[in-house]
Amino acid sequence: MTRVSENQQARRFVSQILENKRQVNRFGYEVSSGLKVSQPGDSSVSGTITRFQQSVDNVASYKAVIAEAKSSIELQDNVMNQMNEIMIRLKEVAAQAANETNGAETRAQMSEEVFQIRDQIAVLANTTYHGRYLYGGAADDTPPYYQNATTAYTNPATGPESRHWVFDAAAPGRTVLRDVQINDDFFITTNTVGSDVFSTAMQAAETLGRSMKGYATGTPPAGNAYVFPADFAQQTLDIKAAMDQLDVARTTQIIPERTELGGKLKRIEAAESLLELTKTTSQEVLARLQNADEAEAASNLALAQTALQASYSVTAKILNDSILNYI
């Protein structure tokens, strides 16, 4: 440069001051917001940032679903626990009743407990969760098990021994299972069809109770009363058959269901840890791409402020110096 005019100097200094101010602004924002990239123009990898943000959002969404699904499955597990206890108790009662040292009247008395337990099975089968029937399938607004005058035995016509619980298979969607997504391409079924779990147990309890009370069991409204003492041996056989049915209920319905539920809970836990890992990894990448390093931003800010002050002071010094000071 051969000549330097006042214009040039002023322009240069002004543009340098403005540039330094821009830097102070930028680093100030980084320090206060903690973010290096807050808009797409701030980075060349903004597309990647949105992908990882979506990943983190997905995790939160799946976790909420998992929490719901888990609590529903845990409730079902609880129900199965109770059913297991019930089967054990019924077996005990049945074993006692089968012993022929107990007469028909004793057996009839003991049957009261059996009928209570049978009704308890119905209560369990009609468990609700958030006001919807847990074992109702997709038709979860109506109870899966019901009994009324139409379904009842006619012999006898009254009393707990006449009640007959029926699985309401006719309701549309009764057997539809619910799959929920707990991770990308990862689904679990959160419910079971009621009859798959309770039907045999219910049948066994009913048969046991009626036999002990003194009635045969068939398809309602059939079921004749035993005539004693001729049918005593038949009663014993019927009680033993009911005991076998209790075993069948346990081994073919209740225990498999408990195993299944245990497996579901394990799969949910696996999904949860995978989600946690995904979230941690995504957040780490996001932090690297998007967050400002506090120490670095703070020191950049300090440097920028120093540069700004230096440019102020240099500007003042140099622009003040002119030949006018000397002539």
Residues forming contacts to other proteins in the complex (CB under 8 A) are 1-8, 11-12, 15, 33, 35, 37-44, 46-51, 53-54, 57-58, 60-62, 64-65, 68-69, 130, 132, 136-141, 171-174, 176, 178-181, 184-185, 187, 190, 290, 322-324, 327
- Report the nearest approach of other proteins to the CB of residue 287 (Å): 13
Q: Are strands 132-133 and 128-129 parallel, antiparallel or unpaired?
A: antiparallel
User: Alpha-carbon distance 283 to 305, whole Å?
Assistant: 31
- Report the nearest approach of other proteins to the CB of residue 157 (Å): 35
- Report the nearest approach of other proteins to the CB of residue 277 (Å): 20
Measured from the CB atom, the residue of 57 and 276 that comes closer to other proteins is 57
- Report the nearest approach of other proteins to the CB of residue 31 (Å): 14
Residues 6+ apart with CB under 8 A from 163: 115, 119, 147, 152, 153
- Report the nearest approach of other proteins to the CB of residue 48 (Å): 7
Measured from the CB atom, the residue of 136 and 209 that comes closer to other proteins is 136
Instruction: Scan for tokens 């539920």, then name that residue.
Output: 261
Measured from the CB atom, the residue of 15 and 252 that comes closer to other proteins is 15
Measured from the CB atom, the residue of 131 and 149 that comes closer to other proteins is 131
Find out whether 210 and 161 touch, Cβ atoms under 8 Å. Answer: yes
User: Alpha-carbon distance 32 to 101, whole Å?
Assistant: 87
Measured from the CB atom, the residue of 8 and 154 that comes closer to other proteins is 8
Helix ranges (DSSP H) in 99-220: 104-125, 194-213
- Report the nearest approach of other proteins to the CB of residue 326 (Å): 9
* Of 224, 231, 226, 235, nearest in space to 155 by CA: 224
- Report the nearest approach of other proteins to the CB of residue 170 (Å): 11
**Phi, psi angles (nearest 5°) of residue 279:** -65, -45
Measured from the CB atom, the residue of 11 and 266 that comes closer to other proteins is 11
Find out whether 312 and 13 touch, Cβ atoms under 8 Å. Answer: no
* Of 121, 66, 131, nearest in space to 268 by CA: 66
Find out whether 211 and 242 touch, Cβ atoms under 8 Å. Answer: yes
Measured from the CB atom, the residue of 44 and 148 that comes closer to other proteins is 44
The amino acid sitting at 55 is: S
